[in-house]
Amino acid sequence: MAEHVPVLLERVLDLFAPALADRPAVVVDATVGLGGHADALLSAHPRLRLIALDRDPNALERSRERLARHGERVEFAHAVYDRLPEVLAERGLSHVDGVLFDLGVSSMQLDRAERGFAYARDAPLDMRMDPTTGPTAADVLNTYPPGELVRILRDYGEERFAQRIVKAVVAEREREPFTRSERLVKLLYDAVPAASRRTGGHPAKRTFQALRIEVNGELEVLRRAVPAALKALSVGGRIVVESYQSLEDRIVKQAFAELARSRTPPGLPVELPGHGPELKLLTRGAEKADETETEHNPRAASVRLRAAERIREGT
């Protein structure tokens, strides 16, 4: 397996530092993965307690090994990140000082061919982030009505050729159900016009993204998880979110913007008590990795980082 390199690590540490420095604090790493960001946060803040969530039991096992040296300062939960309120309640917590989301598929999931996330290698069409539960990508391809497949490819993959692809999928699945990625990749290569293949990246990229999002309910989960995380932040607490595609980033942007605006009616000369912004945005738009980092860590090329600080209790 390739070395795990946390994306925008120094920037993440800098953003959290004012909320964690020189005092006991609690941070939730909602997508701990292989524990790179968590390890750095725990090392930088000796009085920090970290709650590590992941829906992937294999990732939790690996992060337990990596973070073992921090002892009881780390607690682990096998949970999808929209269950954050339940995880906190189980620990008697109502508020925390920081929440980190590093979204999308992890390097470990991509590197393990049997998980089916990577279109570059033949593998079972699985794509479940938690391989112990739920339908697989093969189930989606083989059982969804054509119209639903078109919607998924358009909405989640932003695939212009969704109709053509689904027509080919339906014809092929009637002949024989899909089980492995190589057959799907060949179908996509044939279905996407040559001109688009030359300029639009790998013809499987958008369809594989769409299937993964559908299998894992990623956008629905994120729509629930970000407001829940914001609600859990103490005043002075900070949230940092790393997204890797525009659909995720749009959800984060909208959730932040909703709490960063004043609710005082326009035209009033003063801010009404309790109507001011609850959040202060810490980034101007979405920040990206620089060329040096993307050369060293190709996964950083598509990152969009947003961060905010709670400045007032929620209503």
DSSP string, 256-308: HHHHHS--SPTT-SSPPTT-S-SEEE-SSS-B---HHHHHH-GGGGG-EEEEE
Least confident of 24-28, 129-133, 227-231: 129-133
Tell whether the model's pLDDT for residue 116 goes beyond 70: no
Task: Name the pTM for this structure.
Answer: 0.89
Any idea which of 89-98, 189-198, 250-259, 280-289 has the lowest mean pLDDT?
A: 189-198
The average pLDDT across 217-222 equals: 95
- The percent of residues above 70 in pLDDT, for the chain, comes to 92
Q: Is the pLDDT of residue 207 over 70?
A: yes
Q: If pLDDT is split at 50, 70 and 90, which confidence band does 94 have?
A: very high
* 217-226: average pLDDT: 96
- In whole angstroms, give the CA distance from residue 206 to residue 285: 24
Work out the average pLDDT over 123-148.
94
Residue of higher predicted confidence among 110 and 99:
99
Binding-site residues for S-adenosyl-L-methionine, in ranges, read: 35-37, 54, 81, 102, 109
> In the predicted model, is pLDDT for residue 4 greater than 90?
no
Q: Which residues are annotated as a binding site?
A: 35-37, 54, 81, 102, 109
More confident residue, 303 or 4: 303
Single out the residue of 97, 119, 92, 8 nearest to residue 47, CA to CA.
97
Q: Where do the domains of the chain lie, and which CATH numbers do they carry?
A: 9-108+218-310 (3.40.50.150), 113-216 (1.10.150.170)
For residue 197, the model assigns a pLDDT of 62
**What is the structure's pLDDT at 85?**
97
Residue 271's pLDDT band (boundaries 50, 70, 90)?
Answer: confident
**pLDDT, tens digit, for every residue of 287-302?**
999 999 999 988 899 9
Element (H, E) at 74: strand 74-78
Give per-residue pLDDT as tens, 28-81: 999 999 999 999 999 999 999 999 999 999 899 999 999 999 999 999 999 999
**Residue 1 confidence (pLDDT):** 38
pLDDT of amino acid 272: 80
Question: What average pLDDT score do residues 83-105 get?
Answer: 95
200 — pLDDT class (breaks 50, 70, 90): low
The more confident residue out of 210 and 111 is 210
- At 2 the pLDDT is 43
Shortest CA distance to 46 belongs to which of 12, 73, 16, 17? 73
- The total number of residues written for the chain in this structure: 315
